[in-house]
Structure 1
Amino acid sequence: MHINFPLLLVIAVGVTGLLALLDRIWLAPRRRRAVAAYQAGAGTVDPDTLEKLNREPLLVEYGKSFFPVLAVVLILRSFLVEPFQIPSGSMKPTLAVGDFILVNKFSYGIRLPVLETKIIPIGDPQRGDVMVFRYPNDPRINFIKRVVGLPGDHIAYRDKRLFVNGEPVQRELLRTVQDDEVPAGHPLQALAKAEIYLEQLGAATHEARYKNMSQTPPPREWVVPEGHYFMVGDNRDNSNDSRYWTAPGMPTELWGMVPDNYIVGKAFAVWMHWPEPKLRNLPSFTRVGLID
């Protein structure tokens, strides 16, 4: 079950705001009139009675207390910055499972909460950006990948190599490490390695990970439609992304390219690492920094 948190937040702001408005224009004046009438007609004013007449209903008190807090959260989350946690290793080594990241919500334009309609265009995704977006097959789920293809681009993937508009993405082998995604006890665990490359995508220089024992997929090519983006994970052999897109009507399940109205924002920083949020396992801040 997926909880639509933005919708719940909008509803909460609306309900608490309505309670605050109701108190301001109707309930509070009525309380003041009751207090004035009691003071004018009573010979001796009883403090307890006076307090009771002037007391806000409990629901109104809570509504007035929570409204400004919820409103600030809604504004920050919808238009400025939203936090996310990385649940999978598809963006290794750039992002690890348990990284808590911050996403800029206005880099690609101001959008209405819930409706996700762009109302103020500011900028567009650039090749190399790390972007959070709603999964094309299930918009209730958020994904994070790197922008490889822009509208109109020709993308190819062959021999584990990305090509953009006919040119191979420039890369340089940095190091070879043990493949930590192979289960312990696997007969080939000792032989499984991962090669870490430094790649250049647009203005972004980042690391990408390739498994030496994974199968090489058949070569494929795509043309990115207008208003869409081709997204790929940095963990190239362990990422479901736009490379697994097929033409509409084909029996294979679509992953899909990402339409503009599914964009959430640009990931720009890691602020905490906490793979298992439990008291016995405290968070770490060693991975804090900007996202390349």
Structure 2
Amino acid sequence: MLIWIAAVLGAIALGLVVRHRIAFLTRVRSCSMSPTLNPGQLLLATRVNRAEAVARGDIVVVTSVELGQMIIKRVIGEPGDLVIIDDHGHIQVNQVPLVEPYVAIPAGPAGAFAVPQGHVLLLGDNRIHSSDSRGWLQPFLPAAAIQGRVVGEALGHSMAQRQQCGDPSRTRHP
């Protein structure tokens, strides 16, 4: 009996260490990353501890103080980058056009963003209807706000649990 209790407590401890130090599961709650990710998808994310652990193009889970919740976005600007978005939604990073096959319709407000050290610039793949760095009061999130990097969909997740985004033109999504 004592062995079983020790095994259960050990498994719980191991699970807590994995969740808080190595990896965690998170569910997509909005259409802001559509068509790449859709509501209902269960994702596996690995923990990150510094800005160098993520790179342009990575999908990350961050804690947004401004929005008051955890959100999922794509890293577009890294520390020190100059990101320019033109009137048609096309992006240049450090004067080099960014190729974005994951964006169905490039759009959104034009702007120039000089990403400060220790921060990142994040955008949703559903550019028309994503609440992201382009419209936040503070467009740059500190690297410390990054909780994890999405590495894939959780195994055993049913396609039936996903919701399609339909016409997202009615609202913006965090």
Fold shared per TM-score above 0.5: yes
- From the superposition, tell whether residues 217 and 147 of structure 1 become closer, same or farther in structure 2 (CA, over 3 Å): closer
How many pairs are equivalent?
A: 157
Aligned to 1:70: 12
Code of the residue aligned with 1:134 in structure 2: it is T
Aligned to 2:124: 233
Q: Supply the distance in 2 between the matched residues of 1:237 and 1:134 (Cα, whole angstroms).
A: 22
Under a length normalisation based on structure 1, what TM-score does the superposition of the two structures give? 0.48
Q: Is the 8 A contact 2:115 2:140 kept in 1?
A: yes
- From the superposition, tell whether residues 241 and 100 of structure 1 become closer, same or farther in structure 2 (CA, over 3 Å): same
Aligned to 1:257: 140
SS at match of 2:61: strand
Q: Supply the distance in 1 between the matched residues of 2:138 and 2:119 (Cα, whole angstroms).
A: 13
- From the superposition, tell whether residues 217 and 122 of structure 1 become closer, same or farther in structure 2 (CA, over 3 Å): closer
Between the two proteins, what is the percent identity of the paired residues? 29
Among 28, 47, 65, the residue aligned to 1:136: 65
User: Which consecutive aligned stretches of 4+ in structure 1 deviate over 2 angstroms post-superposition?
Assistant: 63-70, 121-124, 216-219
Q: Is the 8 A contact 1:136 1:256 kept in 2?
A: no
Among 8, 23, 28, the residue aligned to 1:86: 28
- CA-atom RMSD, angstroms? 2.7
- CA drift at 1:209: 2.1
- From the superposition, tell whether residues 143 and 156 of structure 1 become closer, same or farther in structure 2 (CA, over 3 Å): same
Q: Supply the distance in 2 between the matched residues of 1:208 and 1:221 (Cα, whole angstroms).
A: 19
Code of the residue aligned with 1:70 in structure 2: it is I
SS at match of 2:33: coil
Q: Is the 8 A contact 2:51 2:144 kept in 1?
A: no
Aligned to 1:153: 81
Q: Supply the distance in 2 between the matched residues of 1:122 and 1:145 (Cα, whole angstroms).
A: 15
Code of the residue aligned with 2:93 in structure 1: it is V
Among 115, 124, 130, the residue aligned to 2:53: 124
Residues 238-280 of structure 1 show CA distances to partners (whole Å, capped at 9, x for unaligned) of 11111113xxxxxxxx25321011111110111224247xxxx
Q: Supply the distance in 2 between the matched residues of 1:156 and 1:66 (Cα, whole angstroms).
A: 53
Q: Is the 8 A contact 2:122 2:133 kept in 1?
A: yes
Aligned to 1:17: none
- From the superposition, tell whether residues 217 and 264 of structure 1 become closer, same or farther in structure 2 (CA, over 3 Å): closer
The reply to whether residue 210 of structure 1 matches residue 102 of structure 2 is no
Q: Which has the higher contact order (CA 8 A, sep 6+)?
A: 2
Q: Supply the distance in 1 between the matched residues of 2:108 and 2:143 (Cα, whole angstroms).
A: 28
After superposition, where does 1:100-119 map in structure 2 within 5 Å? Answer: 100-105=42-47, 108-109=48-49
Code of the residue aligned with 1:128 in structure 2: it is G
The structure with the largest alpha-carbon Rg is 1
- CA drift at 1:166: 2.0
Under a length normalisation based on structure 2, what TM-score does the superposition of the two structures give? 0.78
Q: Is the 8 A contact 1:103 1:268 kept in 2?
A: yes
Q: Supply the distance in 1 between the matched residues of 2:67 and 2:31 (Cα, whole angstroms).
A: 20
More helix per residue: 1
Among 33, 38, 42, the residue aligned to 1:96: 38
Unaligned runs of 5+ in 1: 1-55, 57-62, 110-120, 171-198, 200-205, 246-253, 277-292
- CA drift at 1:83: 0.5
SS at match of 2:131: coil
